[in-house]
Chains A and B, each alone.
With several copies, the nearest count.
Chain A
Amino acid sequence: MTAPVYLDYAATTPVDARIVDALPGWLAADGAFANPSSTHIAGRQAAALVATAAEQVASVLGCEPGQLVWTSGATESDNLAILGAARYRAVRGRHVVTMPTEHKAVTDAFRQLEREGFDVTWLAPSPDGRLSLEALRQALRDDTQLVSIMHVNNETGVVQDIPGIASCCRDRGVLLHVDAAQSFGKLPIDVAAWPVDLLSITAHKIYGPKGIGALYVSGRPGSHIAPLFHGGGQQGGLRPGTLPAPLIAAFGLAAAIAADSMHRDHDHLSRLRKRFRDAIRDIPGLRHNSPDAGFPGIVNVSAGDVDGESLMLALEPLCVASGSACNSARHEPSGVLRALGLDDAEAQGAIRFSFGRQTTDREIDFAAARYRAALAKLREIAPGDAA
């Protein structure tokens, strides 16, 4: 196999070298490997690791360490927030609101709520992919309990107006959950200033390990949620299980590094995006699915006249996504892109290029050239238009 060129940072990222270097000190026999719930010396060392990490993550969100619940990742955080809040508040009302352009972890949680008898309003995006505050305001009812809207879309990079959405929700006494898996550590977030109640994050999108995430829970009156599972009483019973202190410490360090390099990263990604867009600008027949105002690390483009799977193969050794990563193993055209108005052909021919801290100009140039060549090749062998 040729050495892969990885442009799929929106799916997952490699672990930062500084974290890899620190891990033995957290995992190994002479590290802080103990159970942080144990009262003995080794347990307290592990607890200290967790406390530091909680401060690091909290300071990136603008919250208190005690407002974080550690989970296995954003999928679990999304479900804990959505199922947990809706089920807890079901006695007050059973209307909940989201968008079809959310991540599967959110849309599938809402489909579960539908099966449980909740009434879900699916708000369509404006043509730019954003939720209009007017549409949201109209959707809120007296029995609305929960709204869930993502910050940055994982397929297109569209950024929602979370502060605006949050005010809308707070005005009406509705809980707001935000899936910030793609924005945490990359765009400023301030849950102290934005009236958000629940917010999901995950380490593996910011050069931390896979398998650890968190849910911010404001804890203000009325924001309580039901746990997904039960056990040893850890984390106030909201999310039990032996705390994986080394993973949490890694998440904390990843958050601290992300905060420190947020502006640098953003500039880097903006420059890469411009370079890539410039390089593919003259390719005919492309539809650009990522708005200029979107997160610069994601460029989604589609060609409706080529087969998506063949395009992926022709792009090798480029590692990019067709549809979202979780969809790529199946073969459905992305529901998110369909909701943005693409037809099936355009959606299945979409490629998401996503860049990261390690991405170089050379890789961008290689990707653009490869994309150009792959499209040319597939178009060349395709039959003419008259079918």
Chain B
Amino acid sequence: MVTDPYSAEVRRLFAAPAHAGTLPGAETVRAVAQGVDVELSLARDGDRVSALRFRARGCPHFLAAAEALCAGYEGRPVAELRAFRAAELVERLPVPIDKTGRILVLEDAVRSLGA
């Protein structure tokens, strides 16, 4: 038996992934693990994130997390993006406990950006 597994926030992000895409020529990383697959591209303006885009394959929580990540860090310092912790999205969306491993894949991808 199931109640709705998706919060309004997850549904909104999933339905309109405004930051899905690739930034041509930008810095791009890809992470594939735990059944999910994500590609992030980061464009910088100095030490700011001028644009952040994703492509992903995975469950709705994962796609929503990728969108939330991109939407959340555009315009902010790259250092803050670097400090991104999966826990923050897990709590905010929220993401069920058995899927948090996937959000860590996102964290790994961020960590390897410009590494």
Q: Does A307 contact B (CB under 8 A)?
A: yes
Contact string, B10-45, partner A, CB cutoff 8 A, digits 1/0?
Answer: 010010010011000000001010011111000000
With A310-B60, A382-B56 as given contacts, are A47 and B3 in contact (CB-CB < 8 Å)? Answer: yes
Q: How far is the CA of A387 from the CA of B36 in the complex (A)?
A: 11
Size category of the B interface is 20 to 34
B14 touches A310 (CB 8 A): yes
A313 at interface by CB-CB < 8 Å: yes
Q: Is A48 an interface residue (CB 8 A)?
A: yes
Do residues B55 and A383 form an inter-chain contact, with CB atoms below 8 A?
A: yes
Q: State A309–B6 Cα separation when bound (angstroms).
A: 11
Which single residue of chain B is at the shortest CB-CB distance from A308? B59
Residues of A within 8 A of B59 (CB): 307, 309-310
Instruction: Note all chain B residues with C-beta closer than 8 A to A243.
Output: 1
User: If the complex has contacts A307-B57, A307-B58, A310-B58, are A381 and B17 also in contact, measured as CB distance less than 8 A?
Assistant: yes
Q: Does B2 contact A (CB under 8 A)?
A: yes
Query: Do B1 and A37 touch (CB < 8 A)?
Result: yes
| In the complex with contacts A383-B38, A383-B39, A378-B57 CB distance below 8 A | yes
B55 contacts A381, C-beta separation under 8 Å:
yes
Interface membership of A138, Cβ < 8 A: no
A309–B63 alpha-carbon span in the complex (Å): 11
Docked pose: A382 CA to B20 CA in angstroms: 9
Q: Please list the residues of chain B having a beta carbon within 8 angstroms of any beta carbon in chain A.
A: 1-6, 11, 14, 17, 20-21, 30, 32, 35-39, 54-60, 62-63
Chain A interface (Cβ < 8 Å from any Cβ of B) = 36-39, 43-44, 47-48, 50-51, 234, 243, 305-307, 309-310, 313-314, 329, 378, 380-384, 387
